[in-house]
Amino acid sequence: MKHNRSLHAVFSLVLSIVLGGLLLAGCGSTTTTGSSGGGSTGGATSCGSPPKLTKSTGLKIGFSQNISNSPWRLAENKSMSDGAVAAKDILTMTDAGGQDAKQVSDIQSLISQKVDVLIIAPLTETGEVSAILAAKKACIPVFLVDRDADHTLAKPGQDYVTFVGSDFVKQAQLVAAEMIKASNGKGKIIELEGTSGATPAILRKQGFDNAIKAQPGMQIVASQDANFDRDTARQKMQTLLQAHPDVTMVYAANDEMAQGAIAALKAAGKVPGKDVLVGSIDGETAGLQSIISGEQLVSVTSNPRLGALAFQAISDYASGKSVPIWVVQPDKTYTKDNAQANLANGF
Ligand code: GYE
């Protein structure tokens, strides 16, 4: 909502200042950190599957972000910038504004700039596959972070090095477990899903729906895509509440959508936390505060600070150590028992 718009406005402003500077400087970077380094060795066709990384310091790293519209994404961006500074690499960051086509062209531009490594947070599982394969062809190793690609189209350990991110099915199962416990297995649920085609949207739905199917007293009365976005969720929830005024639970696939749902519930005269239990994922500050105030039951973390794991994987790969095809970011459950104590871990 307002919060999102102002964040977006700040980001757009920063982006225009940086882009303006770049136009003047005549180069393509949007974020530059660390010391200077050389270009890619590129060109060769026998560079490995996935392509090998022969240098380990002063790397030119391209980071393709899918959108920067929420506290989660801003925390992830900062974590990548911090990771680059710590590794003394140079990070060039792009923002696709939530469009697959823009993200493909961003990645193509980073390939033309001959980055040594690509870190990609793909918007959807299929939308960026062509660009991931193009990077391989250009001998640039790719590390996917926060969202994965469709393994039937691009394979980890072959077409890209690894996926660094959370276990989304498990996150959803943990939310379901808290909701089942708090309601004694009884309830009518509205489900707000994330961006269609994105790994966390697909797997968080799968994990939650399967857990609820096993509960004879619980029923998902409506499911809708609210794009992981607060205001979209508020509007969808407003309409859904008219069709399902007897709803007793909301499962939102991220905290931003839970915030939108809470606003809609209040506007409809319902008391979140009493009339309707709300559960979601991320562990952002707003979610933690809603748990503390009693309006939200649970938030399972989805840690956006993936920079340390991503840069460790890059360094391991450069030094020839084996990197697993999935570097799992561990997560935990926040409820009223530990939300206050973890408030400083929010974002
Ligand atoms: O939960 C959400 C964001 O891809 C894991 O995307 C990420 C999810 C995160 O929009 O807030």
Indicate the range of 11-15, 67-71, 321-325, 328-332 predicted with least confidence. 11-15
Q: Given this chain, do its domains 45-166+304-330 and 168-302 carry the same CATH topology?
A: yes
Mean per-residue pLDDT for 56-76? 97
Q: Closest ligand 1 atom, CA of 195?
A: 10
Report pLDDT for 24.
33
Tell me: the pLDDT tens digits for 107-123? Answer: 999 999 999 999 999 99
Q: Out of 74, 175, 302, 306, give the residue to mutate to test ligand 1, the one with the largest number of ligand atoms within 8 Å of its CB.
A: 302
Question: 228 C-alpha to center of ligand 1: Å?
Answer: 7
Residue 286 pLDDT greater than 50, yes or no:
yes
Residue written as tokens 């519930």? 265
pLDDT bin (cut points 50, 70, 90) of residue 25 is: very low
Which superfamily does 45-166+304-330 belong to? Response regulator (3.40.50.2300)
pLDDT bin (cut points 50, 70, 90) of residue 56 is: confident
pLDDT bin (cut points 50, 70, 90) of residue 29 is: very low
What residue segments make up the domains of the chain, in order of their start?
45-166+304-330, 168-302
Report pLDDT for 54.
86
Strand order in the sheet with 162-166: 90-95, 60-65, 117-120, 142-145, 162-166, 326-329
Tell me: the pLDDT tens digits for 234-249? Answer: 999 999 999 999 999 9
Residue 224 pLDDT greater than 80, yes or no:
yes
Q: Out of 8, 66, 68, 72, give the residue to mutate to test ligand 1, the one with the largest number of ligand atoms within 8 Å of its CB.
A: 72
Report pLDDT for 45.
52
Q: Out of 144, 228, 255, give the residue to mutate to test ligand 1, the one with the largest number of ligand atoms within 8 Å of its CB.
A: 228
Residue 292 pLDDT greater than 60, yes or no:
yes
Q: Which residues of 130-163 are buried (b: 16+ CB within 10 A; e: fewer)?
A: ebbbbbbebbbbbbbbbbbbbeeebebeebbbbb
Q: Closest ligand 1 atom, CA of 147?
A: 4
What does pLDDT average to over the chain? 90
- Fold for the domain defined by 168-302: Rossmann fold (3.40.50)
| 299 C-beta closer than 6 A to ligand 1 | no
Strand order in the sheet with 218-225: 218-225, 187-193, 249-252, 277-282, 298-301, 333-334
Q: Which of 222, 144, 210, 123 is nearest to 175 (CA)?
A: 210
pLDDT bin (cut points 50, 70, 90) of residue 27 is: very low
Residue written as tokens 């062509």? 130
